[in-house]
């Protein structure tokens, strides 16, 4: 996809606060991946129209030394792509950059390596420090720029029962900050855009809200072999049929449904039952799930739990799985679904609007409360006798062109919106 050109290209201030605070993590979350991929893309395609900035936890915002920021982005990308042990280099670089935000070193310029003309755009693609409107205001004032954030979802406000107790109030503060200061907003789906619109309508503001699907990692999108046996170890090498579930273990992800189904599968089919591989860190409000993971005799030998795995290993697992299982009650997007489809792996997912946006006719949709339907679909894909009377009809339609975007395609589409908006903008919006 080719970036559109304008008479005056934007000058981007990309906030990388999120990945700096995650510099010691060996595996990225979905939002970590979004921020990293935007940083990589802008480094490659807009190096002369780019600076990096960050907010320190002690409430200071500053531009980062460009070369050091690029070195950190390359280092953390290598760790997250391949799961390598870099001896703590990425963590040290991230810590030093954050310390520099708090205590700028005398005589060291934090200005970009080349400052060109162009309307400044402050781009924040994580939710980091949106609860601190004073930092957002400081970032906007710095170059009298346009503020374009990405809102991933409104789940804590729509489904507060699935969030930590304090999170709905915190997320409302984030949304209020965006409604007050944003000149335009990116969302990963039309479903999120529709959830967001009423907040602007109540505030009497009308600004562009662009739904742009998130990308899948190039390694997944290419479908190429992603890791050797030495890299994946026994996790990536298996002969027994298995299904994969990716995502943080929390009530919203509906792991409890799958664990109850697997206990039933073991009872009905014994050793012929497929295995279940769960990949995701343990989250919150998940006591029943953890009890089953740790104490259910029926699941021993039938289920594996991995709190974190390198991207390369996850891709290998997806390519060998009978299907990805994604029974969530709500999502802002659903990267695992897009990644599985990009690899040609069948998907069984919840019948919710955002999954239809991604999967279209290439995924099989099931009510997240329909245990018998999920059971029949899993048995069908595993080649087992179906326990129900009416087997589920499985999706078999091929992917459509542009149904799944890789990261360059996704980011190019988003920045095309920004570039066109900047070209047509004559006022800075509501701040």
Per residue, the 3-state secondary structure of 243-284, as one string, reads EEEECCECHHHCHHHHHHHHHHHHHHHHHHCCEEEEECCECC
Q: Count of residues for the chain?
A: 431
What is the rounded CA–CA span in Å between residue 214 and residue 220? 13
Which is higher by pLDDT, 431 or 313?
313
From the candidate CATH numbers 1.20.910.10, 3.40.640.10, 3.40.50.2000, 3.40.980.10, the one assigned to the domain spanning 224-382? 3.40.50.2000
Query: What is the structure's pLDDT at 180?
Result: 96
Percent of the chain exceeding pLDDT 90 equals 65
Compute the mean pLDDT over every residue in the chain, rounded to the nearest whole number.
87
Cite the beta strand spans of 263-361 per DSSP E: 275-279, 303-306, 324-326, 347-350
Query: What is the structure's pLDDT at 229?
Result: 39
What tens digit of pLDDT does each residue of 120-142 get?
A: 999 999 999 999 999 999 889 88
Which residues make Cβ contacts (< 8 Å) with residue 146, sequence separation at least 6?
Answer: 119, 120, 121, 122, 183, 184, 421, 422, 425, 428, 429
Query: What is the structure's pLDDT at 218?
Result: 54
Which residues make Cβ contacts (< 8 Å) with residue 193, sequence separation at least 6?
Answer: 187, 209, 210, 211
Instruction: Label residue 118 by pLDDT band (50, 70, 90).
Output: low
Cβ atoms within 10 A of the Cβ of 223, count? 12
What tens digit of pLDDT does each residue of 147-182 get?
A: 999 999 999 999 999 888 899 999 999 999 999 999
Query: What is the structure's pLDDT at 386?
Result: 87
Which residues make Cβ contacts (< 8 Å) with residue 24, sequence separation at least 6?
Answer: 88, 90, 91, 94
Which residues make Cβ contacts (< 8 Å) with residue 84, sequence separation at least 6?
Answer: 78
CATH class of segment(s) 11-215+406-424: alpha beta
Q: Where in the chain is the domain with CATH 3.40.50.2000?
A: 224-382
Reading phi first (left if > 0) and then psi (alpha if -120 to 50, else beta), residue 59 is in: left
């Amino acid at each position: 996809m080719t970036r559109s050109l304008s008479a005056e290209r934007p000058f981007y201030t990309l906030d990388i606060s999120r990945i700096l605070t995650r510099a010691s993590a060996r595996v990225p979350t979905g939002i970590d991946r979004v921020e990293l991929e935007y940083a990589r893309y802008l480094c490659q395609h807009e190096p002369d129209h780019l600076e990096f900035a960050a907010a320190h936890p002690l409430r200071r915002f500053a531009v980062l030394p460009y070369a050091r920021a690029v070195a950190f982005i390359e280092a953390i990308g290598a760790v997250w792509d391949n799961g390598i042990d870099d001896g703590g280099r990425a963590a040290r670089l991230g810590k030093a950059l954050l310390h520099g935000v708090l205590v700028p070193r005398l005589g060291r310029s934090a200005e970009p390596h080349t400052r060109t003309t162009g309307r400044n755009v402050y781009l924040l693609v994580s939710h980091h420090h949106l609860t601190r409107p004073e930092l957002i205001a400081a970032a906007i004032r710095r170059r009298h720029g346009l503020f374009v954030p990405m809102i991933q979802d409104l789940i804590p406000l729509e489904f507060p029962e699935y969030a930590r107790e304090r999170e709905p109030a915190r997320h409302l503060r984030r949304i209020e900050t965006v409604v007050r200061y944003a000149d335009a907003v990116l969302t990963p789906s039309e479903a999120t855009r529709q959830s967001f619109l009423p907040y602007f309508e109540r505030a009497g503001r009308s600004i562009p809200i662009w739904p742009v699907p998130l990308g899948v990692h190039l390694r997944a999108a290419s479908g190429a072999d992603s890791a050797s046996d030495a890299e994946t170890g026994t996790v990536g090498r298996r002969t027994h049929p298995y299904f994969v579930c990716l995502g943080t273990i929390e009530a919203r992800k509906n792991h409890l449904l799958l664990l109850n189904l697997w206990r039933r599968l073991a009872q009905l089919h014994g050793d012929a039952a497929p295995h279940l591989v769960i990949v995701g860190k343990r989250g919150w409000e998940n006591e029943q799930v953890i009890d089953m993971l740790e104490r259910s005799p029926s699941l021993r030998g039938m289920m594996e739990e991995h709190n974190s795995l390198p991207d390369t290993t996850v891709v290998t697992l997806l390519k060998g799985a009978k299907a990805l299982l994604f029974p969530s009650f709500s999502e802002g997007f659903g990267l695992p679904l897009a990644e599985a489809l990009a690899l040609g792996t069948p998907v069984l997912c919840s019948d919710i609007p955002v999954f239809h946006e991604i999967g279209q006719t290439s995924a099989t949709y099931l009510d997240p409360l329909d245990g018998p339907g999920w059971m029949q679909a899993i048995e069908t894909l595993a080649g087992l006798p179906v326990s129900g009377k009416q087997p589920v009809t499985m999706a078999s339609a091929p992917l459509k062109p542009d149904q799944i975007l890789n990261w360059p395609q996704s980011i190019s589409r988003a920045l095309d919106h920004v570039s066109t908006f900047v070209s047509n903008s004559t006022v800075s919006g509501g701040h």
